[in-house]
């Protein structure tokens, strides 16, 4: 029995479908897109799971409370809580207003902490909490200042929660994504002044965007019995983006450019 915030689209939807294929019951939280959330529920029921779409705005304290009250009323327990929903204003620091800062905290960090406070009493030994982070937690790039530090705080909270909840046998981890092909990435690169997305692909060692399924598969692993001894960690899924620095291989020329795969020895 899993609860995923923001599961009507993107990574949350891919995760709900993945868990559904394994026969899980999934609460599909959403804010606006009821039709998409109901489609996710229909899809995961077709795949052999069970679903319940629950509208709740996790940016508000009341929304988080209502969401968990519904989980408690319907199921009386919870095995997995995935804090996935996120939203931010993409602006220069000098243009950020106090309400942008307050909303980013309320939307991107507080639901993990309040959610964990509701989730833990509903969990038995073996419960899991996973939060979604991004490479903006440790790297700086244009317009991400309202969100990146919230992601850094998520990774820190994950460590504190892992410590405090370990005696209850509840593991807490984060999955940090690089550039993942989704609506939100399109929206981010649509910010006026942002470089063309294709210009950054050369700087990702894997040479492409990640997929929502690759993120979902990693979260799914952290929810599985195989991840029993992993807690307090942030698993990075970024095609190698965070390991590179200038000078970039992509900008080099012969004989450095890795243009051809070396021939194998006969």
Ligand X SMILES: NC(=O)c1ccc[n+]([C@@H]2O[C@H](COP(=O)([O-])OP(=O)(O)OC[C@H]3O[C@@H](n4cnc5c(N)ncnc54)[C@H](OP(=O)(O)O)[C@@H]3O)[C@@H](O)[C@H]2O)c1
Query: For the window 64-103, what string marks contact with ligand X as x by the rule CB under 6 A?
Result: --------------------xxxx----------------
Cβ-contact 27, 2 below 8 angstroms? yes
Q: Is 33 in the site for ligand X (CB under 6 A)?
A: yes
Of 169 and 184, which CB lies nearer to ligand X in the complex structure? 184
Of 30 and 90, which CB lies nearer to ligand X in the complex structure? 30
Min separation Cβ 123 and ligand X, Å? 21
Min separation Cβ 153 and ligand X, Å? 13
Q: Is 228 in the site for ligand X (CB under 6 A)?
A: no
Q: Is 27 in the site for ligand X (CB under 6 A)?
A: no
Of 169 and 203, which CB lies nearer to ligand X in the complex structure? 203
Instruction: Please give the backbone phi and psi of residue 82, each rounded to the nearest 5 degrees, phi first.
Output: -115, 115
Q: Is 110 in the site for ligand X (CB under 6 A)?
A: no
What DSSP state is assigned to residue 255?
Answer: T
Q: Is 46 in the site for ligand X (CB under 6 A)?
A: no
Q: Is 134 in the site for ligand X (CB under 6 A)?
A: yes
Name the one range near ligand X by CB under 6 A: 94-102, 177-185, 228-236, 250-258.
177-185
* Catalytic positions, written as ranges: 144, 151
Cβ-contact 127, 170 below 8 angstroms? yes
Of 12 and 127, which CB lies nearer to ligand X in the complex structure? 12
Name the one range near ligand X by CB under 6 A: 120-128, 174-182, 216-224, 251-259.
174-182
For residues 105 and 98, give the distance between their C-alpha atoms in angstroms, rounded to a whole number.
11
Tokens 């979902």, residue? Answer: 216
Which one of 10, 20, 115, 148 is in contact with ligand X (CB under 6 A)? 10
3-state secondary structure of 20: helix
Q: Among 80, 90, 91, which residue's Cα sits nearest to residue 129?
A: 80
- The side-by-side arrangement of strands in the sheet containing 171-177 is 50-55, 25-30, 2-4, 80-83, 128-134, 171-177, 234-237
Q: What is the secondary structure of 36-92 as a DSSP string?
A: HHHHHHHHHHHTT-EEEEEE--TTSHHHHHHHHHHHHHHHS--SEEEE---------
Q: Is 8 in the site for ligand X (CB under 6 A)?
A: yes
The binding site for ligand X (CB under 6 A) comprises 5-12, 29-33, 57-59, 84-87, 107, 132, 134, 177, 179-180, 182-185
């Amino acid at each position: 029995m899993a609860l995923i915030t923001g599961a009507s689209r993107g990574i949350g939807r891919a995760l709900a479908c993945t868990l559904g294929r394994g026969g899980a019951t999934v609460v599909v939280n959403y804010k606006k897109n009821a039709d998409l959330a109901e489609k996710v529920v229909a899809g995961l029921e077709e795949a052999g799971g069970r679903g319940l779409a629950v509208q709740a705005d996790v940016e508000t304290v009341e929304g988080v409370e209502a969401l968990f009250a519904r989980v408690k009323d319907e199921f009386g327990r919870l095995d997995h809580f995935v804090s996935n929903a996120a939203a931010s204003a993409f602006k220069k620091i000098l243009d950020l207003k106090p309400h942008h800062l307050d909303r980013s905290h309320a939307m991107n960090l507080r639901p993990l902490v309040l959610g964990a406070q509701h989730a833990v009493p509903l969990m038995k030994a073996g419960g899991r909490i996973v939060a979604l982070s991004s490479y903006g937690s440790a790297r700086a790039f244009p317009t991400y200042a309202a969100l990146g530090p919230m992601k850094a705080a998520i990774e820190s909270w994950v460590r504190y929660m892992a410590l405090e909840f370990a005696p209850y046998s509840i593991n807490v981890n984060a999955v940090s994504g690089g550039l993942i092909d989704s609506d939100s990435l399109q929206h981010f690169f649509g910010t006026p002044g942002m470089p063309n997305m294709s210009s950054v692909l050369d700087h990702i060692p894997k040479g492409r965007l990640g997929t929502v399924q690759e993120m979902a598969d990693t979260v799914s692993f952290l929810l599985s019995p195989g991840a029993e001894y992993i807690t307090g960690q942030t698993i990075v899924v970024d095609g190698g983006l965070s390991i590179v620095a200038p000078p970039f291989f992509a900008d080099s020329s012969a004989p450095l450019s890795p243009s051809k795969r070396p021939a194998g020895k006969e």
